[in-house]
Amino acid sequence: MTLHPEIAEFLAALPAPPEGPLDPVEMRAADEAHLPPLEERLPLHAVQDVTAKTDAGEVPVRVYTPAEADTYGLLVYFHGGAFFLGSLETHDHVARSLAQETGLRVVSVGYRLAPEAAFPAGLDDCYAAVRWAACEDSGLDWDGATLAVAGDSSGGTFAAAVAARAHDDGFDRITHQILYYPSLDLDFDADRYPSLRENATGYGLETAGLKPFNAFYLDSGADPADPLVSPIKRTDLSGLPPALVVTAEHDPLRDEGEMYGERLRAAGVAATVSRYPGAGHGFVQHFSWIPEYHRVFGETRDFLNRR
């Protein structure tokens, strides 16, 4: 299937990327320049900014409550952005849709970003936020049943790494992992996966841009050979939580996500791999208003409800 026409039209209208080295501060400002005002965002029962006091220090989180209840299933969400972009604001609409569609209380994590915060600061924040969410004194009223982790792109990297780290630590409360077009192999050898060649140019995220976009993270001490950096390099995937791996047809990262799902299944983990035709990388953040792609939230709900 060709790229969805509305996505193709959007990409064709984008200006050429600036020449020279990437400026993270400038790019973050541009990322947040056109966010919708609060009154235009999806309404929920409550949205509250909270400081999670964790072993990693104070971590800002935003808590989305879809309806009033005595207890809640929790979904802890990590935004994407190549480990140096993204924020609670840029992915606010994703968290709102997750809360509305799943009925869970969603905790979006404002983890520290590279290059200002060296590896593993961001990962530490994400893991600490999950453990905090499950504590009685977090004030989140966890029901003791559902505790899911989810993330898109680099946030999906963190979700997979958090699930693995929790397993190794004996923290067995994570019940689901949801990975939206995750970056699971930060080696970026273009010969490693066919999708890196098939989707190299013309679909938004380009294969040649993967190394420079991830350089802030890798240069801060993240070793691509480390399974906490490249989760697909983990040797033993057994015992990890059930997974939903969502991929996009026209994404250079498509094949590593699908291979990870296959490896999870081979290790005895219940894993669903769902490829979205006509989509490119980033569609959950940028194009979930298109009906074909908004259904990703319903698919997430159905996965979480599966027994």
| Catalytic-labelled residue, pool 93, 167, 281, 288 | 281
Q: Name the pairing type of β-strands 142-152 and 72-78.
A: parallel
Phi, psi (5° rounding) for residue 244? -115, 115
DSSP 137: G
Q: Which H helix or E strand runs over 8?
A: helix 5-12
| Catalytic-labelled residue, pool 153, 220, 230, 288 | 153
The tokens for 206 are 């380009």
User: Which residue reads 């509250």 in tokens?
Assistant: 48
3 burial type by CB count under 10 A (0-12 exposed, 13-18 middle, 19+ buried): buried
Q: Which H helix or E strand runs over 168?
A: helix 154-169
| Cα–Cα nearest to 242, from 267, 207, 275 | 267
| Cα–Cα nearest to 88, from 61, 112, 114 | 61
**SS3 of residue 148 by DSSP:** strand
Report the interhelical angle of 154-169 vs 121-133 (nearest 10°).
60
Q: Which H helix or E strand runs over 252?
A: none
**Residue 186 carries which side chain, given as an amino acid letter?**
L
> Is position 153 annotated as part of the catalytic site?
yes
> Is position 143 annotated as part of the catalytic site?
no
> Is position 34 annotated as part of the catalytic site?
no
Q: Name the pairing type of β-strands 46-54 and 57-65.
A: antiparallel
| Catalytic-labelled residue, pool 108, 251, 255, 288 | 251
As annotated, the active-site residues are: 153, 251, 281
